[in-house]
Amino acid sequence: MAGQTQTAPRGKTSLDKTLQKSEEVAADVQRASDNLAVVSTVLGQELPDEIQVGEVAQAIEHTSQLEEKLAKSAEKLAEVNAALSEEIEKRLEATAERDESQALAEKLKAKIRANGSD
């Protein structure tokens, strides 16, 4: 219909693409956190206590702290992605409602024109 805007299918909008990239980053951050947790655990368990001193002890502690930060970042990204996904759904619903209203308005205009020309 004239003047009617087509709604982009889900997965095709710039917000959908942004969400997809953000989800990929979140997955990468989570994998890095998981890998760092393994490294930290192995270092803490496999190195004898007499070696876990000084810079080695600091490195093990730093690895553990980094893993915690990455895990928190992955969690925050997941929350942001959920909110973004919800916003995309709301926008799609609003756009669909707008399109329906526009189509109805066009039908009513056509009906009024048809009745007015009688």
Low-confidence ranges of the chain (pLDDT < 70): 1-11, 118
pLDDT, position 3: 46
Q: Does residue 112 sit within a domain?
A: yes
- Please, are residues 28 and 94 in contact by the beta-carbon 8 Å criterion? no
Q: Does residue 83 sit within a domain?
A: yes
Q: Does residue 8 sit within a domain?
A: no
Q: Which two tokens stand for residue 98?
A: 């707008």
Q: Does residue 1 sit within a domain?
A: no
Domain that holds residue 81: 14-116
pLDDT, position 2: 44
Q: Does residue 32 sit within a domain?
A: yes
pLDDT, position 49: 84
- Please, are residues 15 and 87 in contact by the beta-carbon 8 Å criterion? yes
Q: Does residue 4 sit within a domain?
A: no
Q: Does residue 6 sit within a domain?
A: no
- pTM of whole model > 0.85? no
- Please, are residues 78 and 26 in contact by the beta-carbon 8 Å criterion? yes
Q: Does residue 88 sit within a domain?
A: yes
Provide the domain count of the chain.
1
pLDDT, position 57: 86
